[in-house]
Amino acid sequence: MANGSVVGQYLPVASSEAPRDGSGPLLDPVGPLPDTVGLFEGICTTRAIRRYLPEPVPDHVLRDLLFAATRAPSGSNRQPFRFLVFTDGPNARAVKELMGRAARNVWDVKRTADRYDEGSGIDDTSPKARMARTMDEYVEHLSEVPVLILAGLVRHRAPNPTEGASVYPACQNLLLAARALGYGGVMTTWNQLVDRELHELLDIPDEVLVAATITVGRPRGGHGPVRRRPLGELVYLDRWGTPAPFAIDPPGTRFTSAGPPRP
């Protein structure tokens, strides 16, 4: 709904006296948080936000983001997703520093492998060069992000290629909720580089997969229409490679050439 958060209408928010562990006073009801966009608009305009204002994300916003995340579907409704949230405590600082180092290592390799400093990358106005500057800033200041969230998956069977279907929809729900409430975020899997360190530092059980890292904050900049390949290149009818006649982008859609090479 465009004019009010369903979460804010039906859920209470903790009073200032209540500790986060839930052992304090009963929760006080509040009015709805402002939900500034409709669902379809949110889907089409939720960009990867990597630059944040230096301000904390209030607890009631975190509550709504995680409520939205945990409404996501999962296989047999097992709900194996778990979220570790880090703001400004001792573990938060340690995790952010650890992830910052991992991010810088990954970006150093990717920048060279993907030739960000060659071709159109030497033109400061090109999308490639702008992305490189954004990534430089993001990895350099990742340890300072307002909120870092680790998305976990409690495995109940041996690892398999489809297990992410029970955690990644929850991650997207979280990002969409952030968009709706005036915040933004981005998901990475850079945690893989420091997986053992994270498990040991945070006492994460061995059967839990740390599936993703999401950073969240108030955007320094803004959301806007995302750019993708033309719909006709991505949607087939009846057989692989057969164009779908209904796969037509709305007027005014802007495109990107990113993605796998065209055939």
Q: Which residues have C-beta within 8 Å of that of residue 34, sequence separation ≥ 6?
A: 4, 5, 181, 182
Radius of gyration of the chain, Cα coordinates, nearest whole angstrom: 20
232: helix, coil or strand?
helix
Q: At what angle do helices 90-113 and 195-202 cross, to 10 degrees?
A: 180
Residues of the chain with pLDDT > 70, as a percent, come to 85
Task: Encode pLDDT of 62-87 as tens digits.
Answer: 999 999 999 999 999 999 999 999 99
In CATH terms, 48-226 corresponds, of 3.40.109.10, 3.40.50.2300, 3.40.50.450, 1.10.3720.10, to 3.40.109.10
pLDDT at 138 over 80: yes
- No. of H helices and E strands in the chain? 8, 4
Whole-number Å distance between alpha carbons of 256 and 189: 23
Whole-number Å distance between alpha carbons of 78 and 67: 16
CATH 3.40.109.10 residue ranges of the chain are 48-226
Residue 122, both tokens: 């030497």
Task: Encode pLDDT of 84-131 as tens digits.
Answer: 999 999 999 999 999 999 999 999 999 888 888 888 888 888 888 888
Whole-number Å distance between alpha carbons of 138 and 142: 6
Give Cα 78 to chain centroid, integer Å: 22
